[in-house]
Amino acid sequence: MPQPGGSWRPQGHPATRPHEYVRGGTCKVLTLFHPATGKVHLQPVSSCTNPILHGWLKERLGVILATLPAPAAPPDAAAPRAAWEAWQDGLAERFTLPAELPPLRMLLVWDNLAGHKTAEMVVWLCRHGIMPLYTPLGGSWLNMAESIQRLLKRRALDGQHPRSPAPTARSGRTAPNR
């Protein structure tokens, strides 16, 4: 009989694992999602300090930027600076923009966490033509990467361990690896 909540189990009767189950620690997933193409970049990590996240993000964004066509010079040379100055108007703490700003090449939408706003990371983004857009406080659901993470978590907790992206014939879901 269906029960309200995240599973079909009655309240007070949580799901159990077989005695052979070995947890093996926890894992965090660094996720970068490109909504126009549906491409997802994932990296499992055991911890997610700013040096780990920022290093991975810089590497992934560098790869993505390398695949984009070369940026065209804007007709108005002052346009990139004007865009960045308008962006800074919404910041609680402004920082010094680099003297030279390339044309805007990418928007990066991510959580409104203090670590995402460090001057070193934001200046790196500026220098590469990537403008960060922060989700509002309490609005992490606006970050599409969070939706991908929820799907992966739910499927992992349901015991699905896909070995390939090919869906199974009967359900349209990815074949589990048990």
Torsion, CA 91, CA 97, CA 102, CA 107, rounded to 10: -20
Is residue 48 in some structural domain?
yes
174 band by pLDDT with thresholds 50, 70 and 90: very low
State which residues form the domain around 59: 28-68+75-157
| pTM for this predicted structure | 0.67
Distance CA 67, CA 105 (A): 12
Residues 1 and 19: their CA atoms lie apart, in Å, by 26
pLDDT digits (tens, 9 = 90+) for 67-93: 888 887 777 878 888 888 888 887 777
Structure tokens at 44: 């499992």
Q: Report yes or no on 107 lying in a domain.
A: yes
Our measurement of the distance from residue 106's CA atom to the centroid of its chain's CA atoms, rounded to an integer in Å, reads 14
Closest CA to 68 of 34, 101, 97: 34
Assigned domain for 102 exists: yes
Residue 142 lies in a domain: yes
The answer to whether residue 58 scores a pLDDT higher than 90 is yes
Which CATH number fits the domain that encloses residue 119? 3.30.420
What's the total number of domains in the chain? 1
